[in-house]
Amino acid sequence: MTSHAAQTSETAQAWQDAADRDLILNAGPRFELLVRGEGSHLWDGEGRRYLDFLAGIAVTALGHAHPVFVEAVSRQAGTLAHVSNYFATPPQLEVAARLKRLAGTGDAGRVFFGNSGTEANEAAFKLARLHGGVGRPRILSLDNAFHGRTIGALALTAKASMRDPFQPLPGGVEHIPATIEALEAAMDDRVAALFVEPIQGEAGVLELPEGYLRAARELTTAHGALLIVDEIQTGAGRTGDWFAFQHDGIVPDAITLAKGIGGGFPIGALVAFGEAAALLQPGSHGSTFGGNPLATAVSNAVLEEIEQSGLVQNARDRGAQVRAAVEGIGSPLVAGVRGRGLLIGVALSAPVAGQVVAAAQRLGLIVNAANPSSVRIAPALTIGDAEIAEFTDLFTAALAEVAAAAPTETPK
């Protein structure tokens, strides 16, 4: 008889072979074949359970198969899924008004819908170009920035490994250090826009210096440039406020959104305020699927549930618990904890993030190596004491396993 272990190995090899054969390998080998989710847990094809503390990279804000999400998809799919942007639909109008209200601008502003974060940033890139015109050719972005992988968004992204194979990229973008002094030195009346992430998630959950966004708002206003805040990873309550810019008490000219606003359904948005809201005119941008009634109905339901269930405050409270739990582990591998709310980066004392993530997955925990020396944690906004206790046990065990196998060193 064939043993269960052998059957499991054969099954795993079969789906891995299919993935290698049929999928473009832009994401590399897939870790597991996941078939079902509920709350903050996932199951693979062999029935093994995992605690999901990544939430699809800060996407599944309500967790998996949440009744509100399921009902919204089912109801709207049975009503109206797509009509094109020659027409408006009630879900589209409702979620656009909701996003403006949550951003704190009241009736001011307008919303463009796409299907992803990178599409939202492409639209924002065009917004900057339209604002700049002939006399403002410069666009500023920050070192370590990640704004997406399409050509325009990639021009805003500062990672050479992502950019270099696709040169030449659209010109005019300059990457500067994420310091107030560097921004003061770079800003002049030829700058069309400054793009900034309040927390650089892909760089290891790096926070901006204290007061950076307030200084950026003052400088961009003084020089007539747009301040465009990329809230794709930080929005929808993840940092303990609806949007991370609100922690600093400022109002940008535009924000870009995706990930958590759909709770797992693909949707992106550019929300522009003030004069910036009038820059995109008929014919200057578009999206066949953007703002379709199915996506916007689901987004509206997800945002309503976050609002009504107090999940923004829960992100703040549970984020503090998770940080305290990590700091209390006492592992020699933990050099510090960064981030806000439930977007958390664990700085490691050695470049072993990949090993920690692999060990965690073997133990039944899903987290992410944002870079060799940082582990990213971004669970659903619905987590509670039970999930945090389970996470603490599993993450402690993963750190201990890696620490026993590799000496620590200070990352350079």
pLDDT digits (tens, 9 = 90+) for 376-412: 999 999 999 999 999 999 999 999 999 998 754 444 4
Which part of the chain is CATH 3.40.640.10?
69-308
Is there a contact between 270 and 124 (Cβ–Cβ < 8 Å)? Answer: yes
Give the separation between CA 67 and CA 236, rounded to whole angstroms: 19
Mean residue pLDDT across the chain: 93
Which part of the chain is CATH 3.90.1150.10?
31-60+310-405
The amino acid occupying position 40 is S
Name the catalytic one among 44, 230, 241, 248.
230
DSSP 233-252: TTTTTTTSSSSGGGGGT---
Please check if 233 is assigned to a binding site: yes
Told to judge if 391 belongs to the known catalytic residues of this protein, a careful annotator would answer: no
pLDDT digits (tens, 9 = 90+) for 27-37: 777 788 899 99
Name the catalytic one among 259, 265, 273, 395.
259
What's the average model confidence in pLDDT over 48-76? 98
Query: What proportion of the chain, given as a percentage, has pLDDT over 70?
Result: 96
The CATH code of the domain at 31-60+310-405 is: 3.90.1150.10
Per-residue pLDDT at 45 exceeds 70: yes
pLDDT of residue 354: 96
Q: Are strands 268-272 and 206-207 parallel, antiparallel or unpaired?
A: unpaired
343 strand-pairing partners: 340
pLDDT of residue 20: 80
Helix (H, G, I), strand (E, B) or coil at 36: strand
Burial label for 410, CB within 10 Å (0-12, 13-18, 19+), is exposed
Told to judge if 230 belongs to the known catalytic residues of this protein, a careful annotator would answer: yes
Residues in the chain: 412
Among residues 315, 342, 412, the alpha carbon closest in space to that of 371 is found at: 412
Told to judge if 146 belongs to the known catalytic residues of this protein, a careful annotator would answer: yes
Q: Where are the alpha helices (DSSP H) in 103-252?
A: 117-132, 151-156, 160-163, 180-186, 212-223
Give the separation between CA 300 and CA 318, rounded to whole angstroms: 24
Is there a contact between 61 and 55 (Cβ–Cβ < 8 Å)? Answer: yes
Please check if 60 is assigned to a binding site: no
Residue 2's pLDDT band (cuts 50, 70, 90)? very low
Write down the architecture of domain 69-308 according to CATH. 3-Layer(aba) Sandwich (3.40)
pTM, 2 dp: 0.93
